[in-house]
């Protein structure tokens, strides 16, 4: 089997990293194209995987992202000229057109509702041979090409079959054994689907940190620069240790969809505040079916702070969440195993 992966974001590296390892260990050939987004290149370098970087030229925006998409498509086509890929895989618009040109099968993965990522859905879904989403998006009905699974992207790398948190992170953080700590996650909201969206502002972040500081240590994970008054809280651990940090945190609070879901599937209570709240089925399911997270719109920031107060007052909060997490794990798949089986079926023509 010969497979090409097009990775746009650090979360996509995590989504596919165990799949890539499984393919390589099975004697299959893998190529990786990666965009210059956040810490993606650093994660790939640390992994030891060989990859081809599409460097970012410009500050962002739809035009820059469009040019990157074209470059990635052409790169995928060129890599396929000598020997066709069986599968082209990603969360990108690029793999569909590239596969159509070269005779490969393309598979695109998405866990956001199509309405929340309209450009990606409008340009990516029609060209893809298969669209893979969580089962909670089955209602979108993308036809015979639509394949669903019970679970979430995060279970490809944070399922207990794949990840065991290392307690050594506490020493790296300088946190004592019985000391509580909290993680505040602030994102840049610069992706094409983030245009016009809002999250946690600087003054709101300061209010959250002031509240949390009365109960334990506070760390900030940020995609971009933060207010100078908040720099002392910045997390200094290596990027590949973030899941250890998440796993042992008492509460995670921020405006990131991905890190909220990551905390939730790890059994860490997570609060989210942005304008995507109520619009993403997988986070709605994690909140309302499993009770692993809560979301608040920015206009209801007072409600978020009241919820935070309630959580801070519960000594057994993490124990409650572990029970909820177990119910979720019992009803979902180890996504890495599921993907490897899917690839085998599709290449053999059984899909």
- pLDDT (tens digit, 9 = 90+) per residue, 20-49? 999 999 999 999 999 887 789 999 999 999
3-state secondary structure of 18: helix
pLDDT at 61 (0 to 100): 67
Same domain, 46 and 91: yes
Model confidence at 67, pLDDT cuts 50, 70, 90, reads confident
Neighbour-count burial for 181-219, b at 16+ CB within 10 Å, e otherwise: bbbbbbbebebebbeebebbeeebbebbbebbeeebbbb
Instruction: Considering only residues 334 and 191, tell me which one the structure prediction assigns the higher pLDDT.
Output: 334
Residue 89 and residue 95 in contact, taking contact as beta carbons nearer than 8 Å: yes
CATH number at residue 299: 3.40.50.2000
- Give 42 or 82, the one with higher predicted confidence: 42
33 bridge partner residues: 6, 52
Say how far apart CA 318 and CA 324 lie, in whole Å: 10
Contacts of 273 (CB under 8 A, 6+ apart): 199, 200, 204, 253, 254, 255, 295, 296, 297, 298, 301, 304
Residues 37, 150, single domain; the answer is yes
192: pLDDT strictly greater than 50: no
Of 119, 134, 122, the closest CA to residue 284 belongs to: 134
> What number is the average pLDDT over the span 180-193?
74
Give the pLDDT confidence score for residue 239 in this predicted structure: 86
Please give the pLDDT value at position 172. Answer: 95
Predicted pLDDT at 58: 62
Question: What was the pLDDT predicted at 60?
Answer: 61
The mean per-residue pLDDT over the stretch 103-131 comes to: 95
Do residues 327 and 342 share a domain? no
Question: Which tokens in the block code for residue 55?
Answer: 């460097």
Containing structural domain, residue 207: 168-331
**What pLDDT, on the 0 to 100 scale, is given for residue 59?**
62
Please tell me whether residues 47 and 196 are part of one structural domain.
Answer: no
Asked if 221 and 185 touch (Cβ cutoff 8 Å), the reply is: yes
Residues 21 and 146 in one domain: yes
d(C-alpha 349, C-alpha 182), whole Å: 48
What average pLDDT does this structure show over 321-345? 98
Look up residue 234 and give its DSSP letter: B
pLDDT at 193: 43
Q: Is the pLDDT of residue 83 over 70?
A: yes
Domains contained in the chain, number: 2
pLDDT score at 188: 52
Q: What is the largest CA-CA distance in the chain?
A: 62
Question: Are the beta carbons of 150 and 332 closer than 8 angstroms?
Answer: yes
pLDDT at 350: 53
CA distance 77 to 89: 13
Are 66 and 55 part of one and the same domain? yes
Judge if 195 and 278 occupy the same domain.
Answer: yes
Percent of the chain with pLDDT over 90: 80
Instruction: Mark whether 181 and 100 lie in a shared domain.
Output: no
pLDDT at 225 over 90: no
Q: Looking at residues 89-105, what average pLDDT do you find?
A: 95
Give yes or no for a contact between 286 and 329, defined as CB atoms under 8 angstroms apart: no
pLDDT at residue 124 in the model: 94
136 with 240, same domain: the answer is no
The overall pTM is greater than 0.85 = yes
One domain, residues 28 and 146:
yes
**Lateral strand order in the sheet of 251-254:** 217-222, 181-186, 251-254, 270-273, 293-296
Rounded CA gap, 112 and 279, in Å? 9
Residues 325 and 343 placed together within one structural domain of the fold: no
Check whether 191 has a pLDDT greater than 80. no
Q: What is the percent of the chain with per-residue pLDDT over 70, rounded to a whole number?
A: 95
225 and 102 share a domain?
A: no
The pLDDT, as a whole number, for residue 173 is 96
- Token digits for 337? 């195993």
Does the structure show a pLDDT above 50 at 311?
yes
More confident residue, 348 or 135: 135
Which residues are within 8 A (CB) of 169 and not within 5 positions of it... i.e. 6 or more apart?
237, 241, 244, 245, 248
Report the pLDDT averaged over residues 77-84: 90
Mean pLDDT across the chain, nearest whole number? 92
């Amino acid at each position: 089997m010969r497979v090409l992966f097009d990775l746009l974001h650090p979360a996509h590296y995590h989504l596919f990293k165990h799949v890539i390892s499984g393919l390589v260990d099975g004697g299959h050939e893998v190529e990786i194209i990666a965009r210059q987004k956040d810490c993606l290149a650093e994660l790939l370098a640390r992994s030891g995987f060989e990859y081809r970087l599409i460097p970012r030229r410009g500050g962002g925006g739809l035009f820059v992202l469009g040019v990157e998409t074209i470059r990635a498509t052409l790169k995928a086509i060129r890599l396929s000229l000598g020997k066709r890929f069986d599968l082209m895989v990603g969360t990108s618009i690029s793999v569909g057109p590239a596969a159509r040109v070269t005779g490969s099968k393309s598979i695109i993965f998405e866990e956001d509702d199509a309405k929340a990522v309209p450009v990606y859905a409008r340009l990516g879904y029609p060209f893809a041979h298969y669209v893979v989403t969580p089962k909670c998006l089955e209602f979108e009905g993308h036809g015979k090409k639509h394949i669903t699974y019970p679970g979430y992207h995060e279970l490809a790398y944070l399922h207990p079959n794949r990840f065991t948190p290392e307690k050594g992170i506490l020493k790296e953080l300088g946190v004592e054994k019985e000391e509580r700590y909290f993680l505040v996650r602030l994102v840049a909201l610069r992706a094409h689907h983030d245009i016009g969206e809002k999250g946690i502002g600087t003054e709101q972040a300061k209010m959250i940190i002031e509240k949390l500081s009365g109960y334990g240590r506070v760390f900030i994970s940020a995609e971009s620069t933060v207010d100078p008054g908040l720099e002392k809280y910045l997390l200094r651990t290596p990027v590949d240790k973030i899941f250890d940090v998440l796993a042992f945190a008492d509460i995670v609070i921020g405006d990131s969809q991905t890190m909220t879901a990551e905390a939730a599937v790890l059994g860490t209570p997570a609060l989210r505040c942005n304008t995507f709240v109520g619009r993403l089925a997988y986070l709605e399911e994690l909140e309302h079916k499993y009770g692993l997270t809560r979301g608040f719109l920015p206009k209801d920031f007072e409600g978020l702070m009241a919820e935070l107060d309630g959580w801070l007052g519960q000594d057994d909060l993490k124990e409650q969440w572990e029970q909820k997490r177990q119910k979720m794990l019992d009803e979902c798949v180890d996504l890495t195993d599921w993907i490897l089986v899917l690839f085998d079926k599709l290449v053999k023509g059984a899909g």
